Amino acid sequence: MEEERYGTLVEWLVPMALVTVTGWVIWHMPAFILDWGGHGDQLAAHFVRVDLTPNMPIVMGTYIDIVDMLALIAIPILIYLGVRTVRRAPMEFESWGPLDRLAVFIGRVTMMLVVVLCCVMLYEVFVRYVLNAGTLWANEMSLWLAGFVFLFSGLYAMQQRSHIRIFLIYDMFPRWMQHVCDVISTTLIVTFAFFLIYGGYGEAFQKFARWELFGSAFNPPLPATIKPTVLIVIGLVALQAVINLFADWNKEPVIHTAADDIDEDEIERLKKAVGAD
């Protein structure tokens, strides 16, 4: 049933809406930092420059206006709707627990980020080479979006079991030895995530609290956003690895061959599209 309903309009609208409201909150994050414990004339001056709705009614503190608050409230609502409405595509892994649904939904959000990234790049090419009026923001915006795409793709790849793995020796082991290898690899992932979060939390918090900027003409907050996102995503990747371990524990061993790269469903769809028998 879920495969038949895959690709509905809501699966495109909810991720794009989440990208939009989250982008708004991130751009206006100095308002939240200033009103919820942050301080600094430099940050306040920066927010005055980047505020997109300077004349909107203030609903909290000194800086947070009604649009900012509505966007912030919309984020958890859209995440809930996205996790509830996301559907597994035929070519996606069959595991479908709560965190699996979240990872797949984040994968859909990543798809929307790729669309936005392509639009930014195409716009820059057009204005630079057709209108001879290049932008100051397209390059940094592309780097910013690409950073989020790279990070979110890692979580989706872990959920889909599509990360790089070498099966040559693994497939030769008996099942109990494969379990040992799975436990070791998962332990290494969790250990790496723990020490990365433990060692990077202080720096990430400082970069976020002072809303550290990129230092270019456009001056986006890459350090303030990318560093905390790295820690959040690596934590989710480690959690997903543990869930994968338990979900795959009692499954029959899979012998990997070159035929695994062939998607039979995709071939059949292509045959129907070209009218082949």
Which amino acid is located at 167 in the chain?
F
What pLDDT score was predicted for residue 261?
Answer: 61
Classified as helix, coil or strand, 260 is helix
Supply the pLDDT for residue 205: 93
Q: b vs e for 155-168, b when ≥16 Cβ sit within 10 Å of the residue's Cβ?
A: bbbbbbeeeeeeee
Confidence (pLDDT) at 256:
64
CA distance 199 to 191: 12
Q: CA 176, 180, 182 angle in degrees (round to 5)?
A: 110
DSSP 83-152: HHH----TTS-S---HHHHHHHHHHHHHHHHHHHHHHHHHHHHHHHHTSS---SSHHHHHHHHHHHHHHH
Distance CA 177, CA 168 (A): 14
- Is residue 26 within 8 Å of residue 1, measured between CB atoms? no
List the chain pLDDT tens, one digit each, 277 residues: 344 467 788 889 999 999 999 999 999 999 999 988 766 778 888 899 999 999 899 998 889 999 999 999 999 999 999 999 999 888 888 878 888 999 999 999 999 999 999 999 999 999 999 998 889 899 999 999 999 999 999 999 999 988 777 777 888 888 899 999 999 999 999 999 999 999 999 999 999 999 999 988 899 999 999 999 999 999 999 999 999 999 988 887 777 665 566 666 777 777 777 776 5
pTM score, two decimals? 0.86
Tokens of 101: 């649904």
The number of beta carbons lying within 10 Å of the beta carbon of residue 34 is 20
Q: Which residues, 6+ apart, have CB-to-CB distance to 161 below 8 Å?
A: 93, 244, 248
Task: Give how far the C-alpha of residue 241 lies from the chain's centroid of Cα atoms, to the nearest Å.
Answer: 17
Total Cβ atoms within 10 A of residue 104: 24
